[in-house]
């Protein structure tokens, strides 16, 4: 594991890479009482490019930039994006034997920042720890895509304007588990988080949501919620937007970041204009959606929104293509400035 300590008096200490081990923390440590914790999720990949072995991290600077923003939002220290990325690269290079040599597999990296001051007083921590652990992981869908069913409810709210829904804090995840279990008890895979009496679509589970439809004006549109402070600024989301704008606008698709409602999705489904819907995130990359059960909003009538899929298919054409374009860049089939390349893998 990689560890870097910080104190208000001395700043950042020298990074250390040590064997994986337990942390020793006083029971009064502020992370246990006041939620001073944020984290990231990212991956390193092994592949063969032009006959040569290759190791790469995918958009590490973006992850480190988001981690630093999350840290500052909860009064923990910022850090140099470039220097932290170098630390990650050194760690991955040292641990590269744990990166699986198989398509669809990777080394998952979990950078985490916690406040470590021993105090029950509420205030800015005077000490912190930034550490990174890692584990090999396999494909999210080992036997191919499996379209999911969602429950859209007005009962629970994930985030709100002026809050911290756009930060990757542990405190944003624990409150979402009970609603997820509640939905799972009725056979749903995840929640579709809505906001306001209008039923604005925000996120799906822990992923960003994309909808493809034909607008009432007859235009082909791929739409996702804007970065208004209520959703996480997903790095996979950003990749999907860039890839869609690079490839799909040539086919007549408009790619927009704007507010839209679950009611608009229901109307599009009723009128035969709904084309696809899918989530995006680090783990699955793309997660196709088959069905949304919506409670109808406050005082509304519960109903299902069915997303059309071809018979025998678990994903739409757009989701499949976007996933393929992402994988090509993650494994080096298509070179891009999204990767940090290791020139001499073992």
Specify the pLDDT at position 299: 85
Q: Give the residue ranges of DSSP H helices in the chain.
A: 30-34, 60-73, 81-94, 174-184, 235-243, 262-270, 317-330
Specify the pLDDT at position 346: 56
Element at 208 (helix H, strand E)? strand 207-214
Task: Give, to the nearest 10 degrees, the angle between helix 317-330 and helix 235-243.
Answer: 110
Query: For residue 251, which phi and psi values (nearest 5 degrees)?
Result: -100, 15
Locate 189 and state its tokens: 């895979």
Place of tokens 């007005």: 154
Specify the pLDDT at position 49: 78
CB 145 within 8 A of CB 310: no
Specify the pLDDT at position 19: 97
Domains annotated on the chain, with CATH: 2-138 (3.30.470.10), 148-330 (3.20.10.10)
Specify the pLDDT at position 53: 85
Specify the pLDDT at position 143: 81
Specify the pLDDT at position 341: 67
Residue 11 burial (CB count, 10 A): 10
Q: Give the residue ranges of DSSP H helices in 217-306.
A: 235-243, 262-270
Print pLDDT tens along the chain (346 aa).
999 999 999 999 999 999 999 999 999 999 999 999 999 999 999 988 778 888 999 999 999 999 999 999 999 999 999 999 999 999 999 999 999 999 999 999 999 999 999 999 999 999 999 999 999 999 998 888 999 999 998 889 999 999 999 999 999 999 999 999 999 999 999 999 999 999 999 999 999 999 999 999 999 999 999 999 999 999 999 999 999 999 999 999 999 999 999 999 999 999 999 999 999 999 999 999 999 999 998 888 999 999 999 999 999 999 999 999 999 999 989 988 898 867 555 5
Say if pTM beats, i.e. exceeds, 0.85.
Answer: yes
CA pair distance 41, 25, nearest whole angstrom: 23
CB 93 within 8 A of CB 342: yes
Residue 111 burial (CB count, 10 A): 24
CA pair distance 37, 88, nearest whole angstrom: 19
């Amino acid at each position: 594991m990689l560890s870097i300590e910080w104190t208000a008096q001395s700043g950042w200490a020298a990074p250390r890479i040590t064997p994986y081990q337990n942390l020793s923390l006083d029971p009064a440590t502020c992370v246990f009482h006041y939620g001073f914790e944020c984290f990231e999720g990212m991956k390193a990949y092994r592949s063969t490019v032009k006959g040569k072995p290759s190791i790469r991290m995918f958009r590490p600077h973006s992850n480190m930039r988001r981690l630093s923003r999350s840290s500052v939002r909860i009064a923990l220290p910022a850090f140099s994006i470039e220097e932290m990325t170098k630390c990650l690269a050194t760690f991955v290079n040292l641990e590269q034997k744990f990166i699986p040599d198989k398509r669809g597999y990777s080394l998952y990296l979990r950078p985490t920042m916690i406040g470590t001051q021993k105090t029950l007083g509420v205030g800015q921590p005077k000490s912190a720890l930034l550490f990174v652990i890692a584990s090999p992981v396999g494909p999210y869908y080992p036997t191919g895509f499996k379209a999911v069913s969602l429950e859209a409810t007005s009962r629970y709210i994930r985030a709100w304007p002026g809050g911290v829904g756009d930060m990757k804090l542990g405190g944003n995840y624990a409150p979402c588990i009970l609603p997820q279990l509640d939905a799972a008890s009725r056979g749903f895979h995840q929640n579709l988080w809505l906001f306001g009496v209008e039923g604005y679509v925000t996120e799906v589970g822990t992923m960003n949501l994309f909808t493809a439809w034909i607008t009432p004006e007859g235009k082909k549109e791929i739409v996702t919620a804007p970065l208004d402070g209520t959703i996480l600024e997903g790095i996979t989301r950003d990749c999907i937007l860039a890839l869609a704008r690079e490839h799909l606008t040539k086919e007549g698709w408009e790619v927009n970041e704007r507010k839209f409602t679950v009611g608009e999705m229901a109307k599009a489904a009723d009128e035969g204009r709904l084309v696809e819907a899918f989530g995006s995130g680090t783990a699955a990359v793309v997660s196709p959606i088959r069905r949304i059960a919506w409670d109808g909003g406050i005082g509304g009538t519960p109903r299902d929104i069915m997303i059309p899929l071809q018979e025998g298919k678990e994903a739409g054409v757009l989701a499949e293509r976007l996933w393929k374009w992402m994988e090509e860049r993650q494994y080096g089939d298509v070179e891009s400035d999204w990767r940090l390349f290791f020139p001499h893998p073992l």
